[in-house]
Amino acid sequence: MDFGMFLWAIQQILHPLNLFIIACAVTMGIIVGALPGLTATMACALLVPLTFGFPTVQSFLSLLSIYCGAVYGGSVSAILMGIPGTPAAAATMLDGYQLSKKGLAGKALGMACIASSIGGVISAFIMTFLSPQVARISLLFGPAEYFGIAFFALSILILLSGKSLLKGFTTILLGLLCTTIGMEPLTGAPRFTFGYESLTAGLDLIPVAIGLFGFTQVFDDVIAIFQSTRKRERQIIENLLPKWHELKELLGTILKSTFIGTGVGIIPGIGPETASFLGYAEAKRVSKHPERFGTGIIEGVVAPEAGNNGVTGGAMIPMMTLGVPGDAPTAILLGGLMLHGLPVGPMLFRDHLDFVYPIFVGFIVANIFMGIIGLSLARFFARVLDVQRSILMPTICVFCFIGAYANRLNLMDVGVSLFFGIIGFFLKRHDFPLSPMLVAIILGPMLEMNMANALTIGNGSVMVFFTTPIGTTFIGLSIMIIAATVISRARKNGG
Amino acid sequence: MKKIEIFNSVFFILLGCFFLYLTREMKPEYYTIGPGFFPRMIAGLLILANITRLLLIVFRIETFDARIVYDDKPLYAAAGIFALYAVGNYIIGFTISSLAFLYVMMDLLGNRSLLQKTVTPVAVTLGVKAIFKWVLVLPLPAGFWNIL
């Protein structure tokens, strides 16, 4: 770490033009992320051509700022409408939307913004000071380790199972079965496509997420409007900033989720969706009142938000140091870097420190700006819920439609979304939890591909999963979590 | 209540069996575990989990809360209208189908103000179109005749 360069970079980034670029890009990112169906990946991809004419540092800074803003922006529609703007915001929706129903959308948005900003800033500091050291660890991961991580993340889901573990387990398995639709990851053989060519590429995550959460919510609300069972709460939008004692209570949760998120981000290919659910599950596990999760508590908002924004800095580490993107948006950022003719990997640190340090500082500033701009916009966003439900619900339907359609510009995805909406509605009605299903859909391809790879390497022997210390540790932890949860539930039921 | 729980357990057992049946032709190839291995394993676990649930229900180990009785007609109406909206997008494009959809849905949800029912569909449709088509340059469904 060259502190002279670091101070020089601070001076560069605090130039009014750079601050203006960061502010505009963060705002754009928040707005794009808040639109259902438009993810951080898409926001970056759409804006790469627009930034091509900028000088290298400004171009990359604007993409980074859009990335940070979009990851937070997903929580806006999740909290206000119950539609996750991005799949990473699905965990935020569980408590965020319940808070909105209680008239506390402003508080939820404010806390989500603060947690996102803290998560982003800490992960940016980790990226700045520990990049080369941390990147080396991620290189130790092979198929057995990845399988161990995916298995561990799935076992954590059991904590989100609700009242019945077997119902939670059933939805995890349903999610995994959904991921088997389309091409098999190793050989590319088509499976369960039922003659539909558009199913060969598999189910896209966004229509499924919009179906499971957006449409399910719309159907729920439509029934509530018809039966007049839901009282409309006027939104309280004063006091977006939490009181100091509230923030102090939540700080532990925010920090823990941030470190989970950054850790997940460092490992290529996992992404913010998993990090947010892991953060949520961990907050629920250590909570004194886990039964209140899902009913609208603020811990359920800050944990996933700190987790998914913690990913941003983590995912940048392997991208900057090794040229291996940590998640999909960083793959686009990597492309942006290459478009400007910069080398990726260790040579970037050797030959272009005048680029690397401003980016480190700019990333920290972008996350601080995200907090400020997000809080300013929260007041305006929260007003949306004061619109009459007979106007709001049809509008949400149109956004659900656009969200499902926009990612692949495919009307078949709208059908998929509606199908999952109906499935989700009936599952929810029969007390099957929906979030484990979505996370299983996210993790399924990673689990299957790495299991298949590891078994192929090990000539079909399952002992291959226990040959590496990292893989063995994760599988051991998973077994312990499952056993402890089953035993504690059995005791509770017995008592 | 118990009947519904038994019914959904049996449904998931049958679903597992269906997937097992579909994987019968998927054989291992080129030293890999084959495309059928993973779905077969998941379907097997689904069957096992729901047989366990069924036994717990039958032997009254798993208990349930009292269930509220719902009227599902609004759900079918909303799903039907939305399906029509999706088909409408395919045939007549986004603009016209969105205007019609918003008007009908607002009417069904009890909005009696003609002004709101006229202005909202136009504002929402144009707003969405402005963002997606003109700002983000993402094509919206134009329908067979590519009108509006």
Q: What is the pLDDT of residues A1-46, one digit of tens each?
A: 677 888 888 998 999 999 999 999 999 888 888 877 667 777 777 6
**Looking at the predicted structure, is the pLDDT value of residue A495 above 50?**
no
pLDDT 10s digits, A147-197: 888 888 888 777 767 678 888 899 999 999 999 998 888 778 888 888 888
Sign of CA pseudo-dihedral A192, A198, A200, A203: negative
pLDDT 10s digits, A298-320: 999 999 999 988 888 888 887 77
CA triple A219-A220-A226, angle to 5 deg = 90
CA distance A185 to A167: 28
Chain A within 8 Å of B99 (Cβ-Cβ)? no
**Looking at the predicted structure, is the pLDDT value of residue A240 above 90?**
no
CA distance A434 to B57: 22
Q: What is the mean pLDDT of residues A323-340?
A: 75
pLDDT 10s digits, A400-455: 888 788 777 888 888 888 899 999 988 988 888 887 888 788 788 888 988 988 88
Q: How many CB pairs under 8 A join A and B?
A: 161
Q: What is the mean pLDDT of residues B53-72?
A: 70
CA distance A165 to B62: 10
Is B110's CB within 8 Å of A225's CB? yes
Chain A closest-CA separation from residue B106 CA (Å): 5
CA distance A201 to A413: 12
Chain A within 8 Å of B85 (Cβ-Cβ)? yes
For tokens 């035993």, the residue is: A487
**pLDDT score, position B61:** 67
Q: Which residue has the higher pLDDT, A236 or A301?
A: A301
Interface test with A, best of B10, B97, B105 (most A CBs within 10 A): B105
Spell out a b/e string for A213-251, using b for 16 or more CB atoms within 10 Å of the CB, else e. bbbbbbbbbbbebbeeeeeeeebebeebebeeeebeebe
**Looking at the predicted structure, is the pLDDT value of residue B79 above 50?**
yes
pLDDT 10s digits, A260-286: 999 888 876 677 888 888 899 889 888
Residue type, B18: F
**pLDDT score, position A305:** 92
Q: Which residue has the higher pLDDT, B49 or B112?
A: B49
Q: Which residue has the higher pLDDT, A122 or A83?
A: A122
Nearest residue, CB atoms, A389 vs list B64, B101, B109 = B109
Is B39's CB within 8 Å of A164's CB? no
Chain A within 8 Å of B30 (Cβ-Cβ)? yes
- Residue A340's contacts (CB-CB under 8 Å, 6 or more residues apart) are A56, A59, A60
Nearest residue, CB atoms, A177 vs list B33, B46, B64 = B46
Mean of all residue pLDDT scores within chain B = 84
Q: What is the mean pLDDT of residues B50-67?
A: 76
**pLDDT score, position B71:** 67
Interface of A with B in 122-161 (CB under 8 A): none
**pLDDT score, position B52:** 93
pLDDT band at B62 (very low <50, low <70, confident <90, very high): low
Chain A closest-CA separation from residue B7 CA (Å): 11
pLDDT band at A136 (very low <50, low <70, confident <90, very high): low
In this prediction, the answer to ipTM > 0.90 reads no
Chain B within 8 Å of A399 (Cβ-Cβ)? yes
Is A456's CB within 8 Å of B82's CB? no
pLDDT 10s digits, B84-138: 998 998 889 899 999 999 999 898 888 888 898 999 999 999 988 888 777 777 7
Is B43's CB within 8 Å of A177's CB? yes
Is A191's CB within 8 Å of B70's CB? no
CA distance B145 to B92: 7
Q: Which residue has the higher pLDDT, A199 or A366?
A: A366
Chain A within 8 Å of B91 (Cβ-Cβ)? no
Is A391's CB within 8 Å of B116's CB? yes
Nearest residue, CB atoms, B39 vs list A180, A414, A451 = A180
Interface test with A, best of B63, B82, B116 (most A CBs within 10 A): B82
Chain B closest-CA separation from residue A259 CA (Å): 32
Question: What are the start-end ranges of the E strands in A48-157?
Answer: none
CA distance A358 to A379: 32
8 Å CB contact between B32 and A456? yes
Nearest CA in chain B to A451: B38
Residue among A306, A314, A312 nearest A278 (CA) = A306
Residue type, A392: L
CA atoms within 13 A on the CB side of A224: 14
pLDDT band at B148 (very low <50, low <70, confident <90, very high): low
Burial class (CB in 10 A: 0-12, 13-18, 19+), B30: exposed
Q: Residue A118 CB: number of other CB atoms within 10 A?
A: 25
| Phi-psi label, residue A409: left if phi above 0, alpha if psi -120 to 50, beta otherwise | left
8 Å CB contact between A306 and A260? no
SS3 A331: helix
Chain B within 8 Å of A441 (Cβ-Cβ)? no
**Looking at the predicted structure, is the pLDDT value of residue A235 above 60?**
no
**Looking at the predicted structure, is the pLDDT value of residue A233 above 60?**
no
**Which CA distances in Å does A332 have to A22, A65, A352, B125, B138?**
18, 13, 20, 31, 18
